Amino acid sequence: MSVNSIKSIWGPASTQPAAGFDSMGTPKIGGSNERKTQFANAIKSYLSEVDDLQQSSDMSIKDLLSGKSEDIASVAAAAAKADASFRLLVGVRNKLIEAYKQTMNMPL
């Protein structure tokens, strides 16, 4: 039986690579550009939010020290919120690095 007769039995699906594989049958690496963009935008958004909280905390501390504000409770709350968000950011970064290292150490 020739290859052409097999192709005619299976139709055009036999000549096209399966989803997630290139023409040589090897798996495609990486996700869609849309997912990469969404992930990058989510990270940028969270970094911006953490930066805003840090700057807000710094301004409230400066206002307290310069005498513009006397509400120490709001300053402490802003500092605690900025600290918690920064710790969460560092934790996410550490998990991403750990996942990357595990992926790189996977046997092929």
CA dihedral (100, 84, 69, 67) in degrees, to 10, reads -70
In a domain, 97, yes or no: yes
**97-107 pLDDT, tens digit each:** 999 999 999 98
Does residue 4 lie in a domain region?
no
Q: Is residue 25, in this structure, part of any structural domain at all?
A: no
CA angle (27 as vertex; 26, 30 as ends), nearest 5? 140
Asked if the structure places residue 10 within a domain, the reply is no
Report the number of distinct structural domains present in the chain: 1
Rounded Cα–Cα distance for residues 42 and 37 (Å): 9
Handedness of CA 54, 55, 56, 58 (dihedral sign): positive
pLDDT band at 27 (very low <50, low <70, confident <90, very high): low
The contacts of residue 7 (CB under 8 Å, 6+ apart) are 14, 15
User: pLDDT of 33-76, one tens digit each?
Assistant: 888 889 889 999 999 999 999 999 999 999 999 999 889 999 99
How confident is the model at residue 33, as a pLDDT? 81
In whole angstroms, give the CA distance from residue 98 to residue 72.
Answer: 39
Task: Specify if 16 maps to a domain.
Answer: no
Residue 42 forms part of a structural domain = yes
Is 70 among the domain residues?
Answer: yes
12 found inside a domain = no
| Boundaries of domain holding 93 | 31-104
